[in-house]
Amino acid sequence: MIPRELIGKIIQEAINAPSGDNSQPWRFEVRGNEIDIYNLVGRDATLFNFKNRGDFLAHGALIENISIIAEHFGYEATVTMFPEQGRSDHTATVRLERTADKKENGLFKAIRERATNRKTYKAYTLTEEEKQNIGEMRGVGGEEIRLADGREEVSKLASIISLNERLLLENIVG
């Protein structure tokens, strides 16, 4: 059984996940080795949270943090998304199981250091080690991350993202 204090520490670190307007639209219930995560609908009342999509994105970042932090402490996080059929506010159940030993992960320290809307953004070039750590990450379906490197690539990407937001906001259907 995982000590309750450790679950508390994992949650305390995990809530450093980015969320719209720093709304942190989540609440937790802990049962043994499981953490149930619930969406606090309406907490992020911005246009960007159309149909709670911003909330779900924030919950994804939160769950990712829990997985990274659990691994750091020697636990594996098994995630069940939307565990209660027909209940979209219960976004996930995370079960923590002891693995061998604590595992060093370069992403653990980055959870607190990364730029979120809680602090001023600081522009800097990633180190080769940071680029390698990011390049080794894979999503559940095998997705990969590609980094925009250089001012020209970043500008192109920013233009695409800006267009995406414009299309979203100009085409919201009630």
Structural domain boundaries of the chain? 4-115, 123-174
Helix, strand, coil shares of the chain, percent, nearest 5, are 45, 15, 40
Nearest-Å Rg of the Cα atoms of the chain is 18
Q: Are 114 and 90 in contact (CB under 8 A)?
A: no
**Token output for 73:** 């402490």
Per-residue confidence (pLDDT) for residue 70, from 0 to 100: 94
CATH number for the 4-115 domain, one of 3.40.50.300, 3.60.20.10, 3.40.50.150, 3.40.109.10? 3.40.109.10
Per-residue confidence (pLDDT) for residue 150, from 0 to 100: 81
- The answer to whether the predicted template modeling score (pTM) of the entire model surpasses 0.85 is no
Per-residue pLDDT of the chain (174 residues; tens, 9 = 90+): 899 999 999 999 999 998 888 889 999 999 999 999 999 998 988 777 888 888 999 999 999 999 999 999 999 999 999 999 999 899 999 999 998 777 777 788 888 776 555 556 677 788 899 888 888 876 667 777 778 888 898 889 888 888 877 777 666 555
Per-residue confidence (pLDDT) for residue 167, from 0 to 100: 77
- Largest Cα separation within the chain, whole Å, is 51
Q: Are 91 and 39 in contact (CB under 8 A)?
A: yes
Sign of CA dihedral 100, 68, 70, 115: positive
Q: What's at 145, amino acid-wise? A: I
Report the C-alpha gap between 99 and 45 in whole angstroms: 40
Per-residue confidence (pLDDT) for residue 102, from 0 to 100: 74
Q: Are 74 and 98 in contact (CB under 8 A)?
A: yes
